[in-house]
Amino acid sequence: MNHRSATWMVVVGAIGVIVLGAVLVVGTGQGRFGGGQSLTLSTCEPRATPGSAVNVTLSDRGDGMMGGGSAMMVSLAAAPGSVPSGSVTFVATNTGALNHELLILPLPSDGAGTRPVGTDGRINEQSSLGEASASCGRGPGDGISPGTRSWVTVNLAPGKYELLCDEPWHYANGMFTELTAS
């Protein structure tokens, strides 16, 4: 390989890194989301977070369908994973391309991810302690749109809880985690 070819490869590689970096920056908080609206996540913040705060990240890889089946690539992560009991504000951020929601439920005796899923791809939400599913708002709604946040404050007794997304088939495909209140 001559000097000119090597230089060209370095230039092309650098351009690729710059483009990838720009895509990552847009995808992590600013950019264009549904309906051509430009949105910055800082406009979607709770005014106050009483008690402890848990940041929940809801994500996916686009439509996530693999081979036409029902398997999706979705995830839910919470930080911290343990909080003092009492008032806890959950701030759920959708970094994916699909709508998501956050439900807080007591952990089943069999552990996280063991709830029965109906033919509609959803669980029974009857024991939910709280829900964040309003785009740029508090409490229940129609789902957290890509690039937005929702939040909810609940009073947690000491114990273990399951945080999950109950959009169709999201829970069944692994969109849950545990939280401990002590």
Say how many C-beta atoms besides its own lie within 10 A of residue 59's C-beta. Answer: 19
134 burial type by CB count under 10 A (0-12 exposed, 13-18 middle, 19+ buried): buried
Predicted pLDDT at 59: 96
Length of the chain: 182
Q: What does the alpha-carbon distance between residue 129 and residue 162 come to, in Å, rounded to a whole number?
A: 10
Predicted pLDDT at 63: 54
Helix (H, G, I), strand (E, B) or coil at 178: strand
Closest residue by Cα to residue 153 from 107, 68, 86 = 86
Amino acid letter, residue 130: G
- Which backbone phi and psi does 83 adopt, to 5 degrees? -140, 160
Does pTM surpass 0.95?
no
Query: What is residue 41's DSSP assignment?
Result: G
Predicted pLDDT at 28: 37
Q: Domain ranges for the chain, please list them.
A: 3-33, 39-181
Report how far apart, in Å, the C-alpha atoms of 19 and of each of 39, 86, 120, 172 are: 20, 45, 40, 35
Q: Tell me if 100 sits within 8 A of 144, measured CB to CB.
A: yes
Residue pLDDT tens, the chain, 182 long: 555 544 444 444 444 433 333 333 333 333 333 333 344 555 677 777 778 999 999 999 855 444 444 567 999 999 999 999 999 999 999 999 999 999 999 999 999 999 999 999 999 999 999 999 999 999 999 999 999 999 999 999 999 999 999 999 999 999 999 999 99
Predicted pLDDT at 37: 39
Predicted pLDDT at 36: 37
CATH number belonging to the domain at 39-181, selected among 2.60.40.420, 3.30.420.40, 3.40.50.10330, 2.40.50.140: 2.60.40.420
Q: What does the alpha-carbon distance between residue 154 and residue 171 come to, in Å, rounded to a whole number?
A: 21
